[in-house]
Structure formats: structure tokens, C-alpha cells
Structure 1
């Protein structure tokens, strides 16, 4: 097939939305009268799944926990999602598109959602630091390779 006859690759954002959101303040109202500097822990995860031909849902989730010693001040969770249409993208480029480009698009929305949620809960907003989804993607690839290279079955290819 010549270049002119090959279908052109396309990528489009169809929808960006908050899929899940939660704020827990287990020690309210006492936490609001204490002047303490909490330790804040942030966990970020991504996921992607195909739900129809050429349509993928990509999610970026954040869990933000603020603690003082053993007491939890708040636990904020949000899942920012996007629906993306992807057509005629070579299979080798699909994984990085869903694992790097889409989360990079969604992250600013997640950052705003988390910040607003925590502020509406009565706490100073937490601004999530920028994330290199490319570095996370490479790290996950390396982890998969190590897991497969360990005790798991190996596939030998004749040369």
C-alpha cells in the first residue's frame, strides 16, 4: 500500500470528567482548632482501557493523605478520566500515547480537582507537583521486564 492510501492516524479528546471523588475528615471538628503542620503523602496512578472500537478511557487518580503523628487530618481521593478516540495509530505507539500523552493531558484537571476539594474541606489547598508521566511509563516498563525476567516463564526466539 502506498503512503497516499494508508489511513491517517488520528487522536482526539472526546470528554474529560471527574469519575470519582472523595474527602474524608475522620477527626473533625477537632482538627480545625489545632495549629499543626501535617505530613502530606501523595500517590498517583494511571490506567487505560479500551471500551469500544477506537475509544479508550484513561484515568489518573490521586490519593492525598495528611497526617499528624498517627492521626489522619484528611484523606482526599479523585479520579480524573478522559475518553480519547484513537484511530490508525501503529501498535508500538499506542502504549506510550495512552500511558504518557493522555495522563499528561488529564493531570492539570486532576491537580485543580484535588486542590479545590481539599480547600472546600476547610484546609489549605494542596498543589500537586508536576509529574513526568514519561518517566513513570519507563519505570513501569522496566518493572514489567524485571518481573518477566525473574521466576516467570521465558520465551526463547530462534535466531
Structure 2
């Protein structure tokens, strides 16, 4: 057969950098509706919703990394908390032949970008199941978040390097 490789030979792209999503999971999910059932009967103006997002990475094995997105959202109207929701949504990624210099942006930008639509859906469904309209988050600029975190780390390193 013309497509077969000689014994012991590897495909030409066997050393090419690659990454794949092995699996996804919810590590933590919390929803608080402190004013229920009254909070779902209230009318009035739209609440103020604050959302925060963080990304964490932990090496699991030689080529496996757990990437987690931590999402928190809080809705308030007139200093009354309508709901609090926290979600830690993760994925396990297999990285092969990825240069060390490429690891941080891959793990902190591209991997979270793959996970985000699923995390956003879990968050929206949870808020809706709590009696509120679904919380539809805008897409996140993970590259901007990564660059800001990198800038903060560099500033901290510079501050710590100043001799006393």
C-alpha cells in the first residue's frame, strides 16, 4: 500500500505542536437567591449586574493541563442582592511538542477561549433556573486579560526587585 510508512518511521508531523481537549467539567457551581420567592416577583428596572472572570492553570501530568475559568456574577437592585452565582468550569487539555515560550498564551488564552461558550451556557441556565432572565455574557477578551495579568506580574516583580 502506498500510504503505509516504513517500519519504525514516524509521520512527518509527529513532532508538530498540537493541543486537544480531553474533557470538560464543572468543579464548583453555587447559586444564591436570598430574596426568593419575593425576588422573582419583583418588577422594576433592570438590576445592576457585576461579573468577574479569572483563569487558572495546573499541570496534571507531562502533557496534561487543567485549565479552569472562574466566573462570578452578582445582581443588585437598590442595594438589594437579587442573586449571586459562582462557577468554576474546567477542561483538561493534552499538549504535545509545544515550545515552553508558547505554553502560557496557549493555556491562558486559547484553551479558555475554547471552554468559554460552555461555561457561559451553564451560567445562563443556572440564572434562568433561579427564576431570572438568563445572564448572557459577552465574549471575553482572554488575550487582553492575559496581557493585563502579565503586566501586573511584571510590575510586582519590579517592585519586589527594588533594593531597600
Q: Which moved more, 1:66-75 or 1:102-111?
A: 66-75
Find the counterpart in structure 2 of residue 88 from structure 1: 97
Give the aligned CA root-mean-square deviation in angstroms.
1.6
In structure 2, the gaps of 5 or more residues are 1-11
Give how far 1:8 is off: 2.7
Alpha-carbon distance in 1 for matches of 2:121, 2:151: 31
Determine which of 35, 39, 57 is the counterpart of 1:31: 39
The answer to whether the Cα contact below 8 Å between 1:61 and 1:110 also exists between their aligned partners in 2 is no
Q: Which residue of 1 aligns with 2:117?
A: 108
Which of the residues 103, 126, 149 maps onto 2:135? 126
* Alpha-carbon shift at residue 10 of structure 1 (Å): 2.2
Residue 51 of structure 1 and its aligned partner are, at CA, apart by 1.2
TM-score by length of 1: 0.89
Structure 1 gap ranges (5+): 155-159
- 1:1-159 matches, within 5 Å, as 7-36=15-44, 37-150=46-159, 152-153=160-161
- Structure 1 residue 53: Cα displacement: 1.5
User: 1:85, 1:12 → 2: CA distance?
Assistant: 5
Aligned residue for 1:42, secondary structure, equals strand
Deviates more, 1:115-124 or 1:11-20: 11-20
TM-score (norm 2): 0.86
Larger Rg: 2
SS in 1 for 2:93: strand
Can you list the C-alpha shifts for 1:19-76, whole angstroms capped at 9, x where unaligned? 2111100111121221132111101111001011110000012111001122110011
The number of equivalent residue pairs is 150
CA–CA distance in structure 2, aligned partners of residues 59 and 134 of structure 1:
15
**4+ residue runs over 6 A deviation:** none
